[in-house]
Structure 1
Amino acid sequence: MIRRFGDSPRPDVAYRLRPGAYAILPHRGRLLVTHQAEPLPELQLPGGGIDPGESPVQALYREVFEETGWLIARPRRLGAFRRFTYMPEYGFWAEKLCIIYRAHPVRRLGPPTEPGHRAVWITPEQAARDLGNAGDRHFVSRETHCL
């Protein structure tokens, strides 16, 4: 059974399954996260939806690059969680299946290519407190001892 974070699913809503891959990216005592400006400003683990025909790891490499401009290496799956939310940028309600990895940021290739995103370095403690959803905060808190 995959743990759920956030609101319970609403019985009056048809949710679309939205699998995604997200990364905890430690480097020199800090974490690389993304700040997304829209629809509401928030700090997030870099990552996002897995496109058709794409593996979770392929999506992870692509999404981290798009949202941070960084190349990553050695992803290791930590677990997964679900959350039910409205995605205003896509106009639908989603059951997000969030697969969480730990990986190593190895080189900045340029600025983020995803509009409205910027790469931010923060402490693990700040991430555990300020990331935009409880699932991300849970996984960062679990990893803090080995960051």
Structure 2
Amino acid sequence: MDTRTRVNQALKQAMKDREASRLATLRLINAAIKDREIADRVDGESGGIGDAEVLAILGKMTKQRNESARAYEEGGRLDLAERELNEIAIIEEFLPKQLSDEEITEAVKAAVSDTGAESIRDMGKVMGALKGKYTGQMDFGKVGPMVKDQLCQGGNC
């Protein structure tokens, strides 16, 4: 079952269970997905969005809420920070399990090997391979420097 179907089923269940906060978060997820579909239609791509794109949207939503929660905590608004963290928990139900640091390191090594990357110029190929295989399972903002370090070990930087 694809992620979008799971979100819609959870939305219906939240309506039945009268869970207001969960329902609001699930509606935000649906709105973000529909916004992406509309943007794609405007750009001339009418094939709909795939599961990988839905996972990317969910990852972005999680990252935004983490940043907001951190800002609220720094500002002393713990009630708002808690609300953001609750939304993160709901969004993460639909994301695949995050890889551990060791698993990410192994994935980076495998991607470098599989793509035949030899220098920093090949970083795009490696990142593309990782995104194709591990979307939603790792933070690519953190993975980029790891790929760069891996590629620079050979002294090709």
Q: Taking structure 2 as the reference length, what is the TM-score of the superposition?
A: 0.24
Larger helix fraction of residues:
2
Higher-Rg member (1/2): 2
By relative contact order (CA 8 Å, sep 6+), the higher-ranking structure is 1
Larger strand fraction of residues:
1
